[in-house]
């Protein structure tokens, strides 16, 4: 991996280390939208939405997905690029901490918006398992995240429900090794 790859990944992590941008990425998974549409959906100003869309696009997290005519002008529509192209690259602890904090803030916001009485699942695990079990868990969670992203629909599409999914999976130091 080159230094340029590391710099690209750091830029990506800093781009998503903001709760509004995390919301945008989730929103733009299900539909291509203009900054104005994103602003209306997230109840933020169009200027604010445009700024955050530019940050995400500049860091390779959004791609242009067409245009639409708007009052004599043209508005670009954007779509989330997806996780598949960014896996396996190392980043600094500081940048990881920024991203985790952004996810934590976003989870708190989403929990406050949780439908009363709805089903949900929370799990926490710090334990020892065989490598085979761990590989199976990783594969199942990966399959679930791919499914949810591939099947994402535009906001408020008939027959859909708004959902939250966050997953953090990683191997931990076992106390016998030094983290490098």
> How far is it, in rounded angstroms, from Cα 156 to Cα 164?
15
- Lowest mean pLDDT segment, chosen from 32-36, 39-43, 88-92: 88-92
Q: What pLDDT is recorded for position 83?
A: 54
Q: What pLDDT is recorded for position 101?
A: 85
Please compute the mean of the pLDDT values over residues 160-165 and round it to a whole number: 92
With contact defined as beta carbons under 8 Å apart, do 49 and 18 qualify?
no
Q: What is the pLDDT of residues 58-95, one digit of tens each?
A: 988 899 999 988 888 899 999 988 754 444 555 567 77
User: CA triplet 100, 103, 104: central angle to 5 degrees?
Assistant: 85
Q: What pLDDT is recorded for position 179?
A: 52
Q: Tokens for 134, please give them.
A: 């761990």
With contact defined as beta carbons under 8 Å apart, do 137 and 171 qualify?
no
Instruction: Count how many residues are written for the chain.
Output: 180
Please compute the mean of the pLDDT values over residues 126-139 and round it to a whole number: 95
């Amino acid at each position: 991996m080159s230094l340029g790859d590391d710099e690209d990944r750091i830029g990506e992590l800093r781009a998503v280390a903001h709760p509004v941008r995390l919301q945008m990425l989730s929103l733009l998974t299900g539909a291509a939208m203009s900054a104005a549409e994103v602003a209306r959906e997230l109840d933020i100003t169009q200027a604010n939405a445009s700024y955050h869309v530019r940050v995400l696009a500049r860091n390779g997290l959004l791609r242009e997905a067409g245009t639409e005519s708007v009052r004599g002008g043209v508005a670009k529509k954007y779509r989330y690029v997806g996780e598949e192209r960014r896996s396996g690259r190392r980043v600094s602890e500081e940048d990881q901490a920024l991203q985790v904090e952004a996810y934590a803030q976003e989870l708190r916001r989403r929990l406050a918006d949780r439908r009363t009485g709805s089903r949900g699942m929370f799990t926490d695990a710090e334990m020892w398992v065989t490598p085979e079990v761990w590989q199976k868990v990783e594969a199942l969670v990966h399959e679930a995240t791919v499914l949810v992203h591939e099947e994402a629909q535009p906001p408020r599409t008939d027959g859909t429900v708004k959902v939250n999914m966050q997953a953090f999976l990683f191997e931990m130091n076992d106390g016998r090794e030094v983290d490098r």
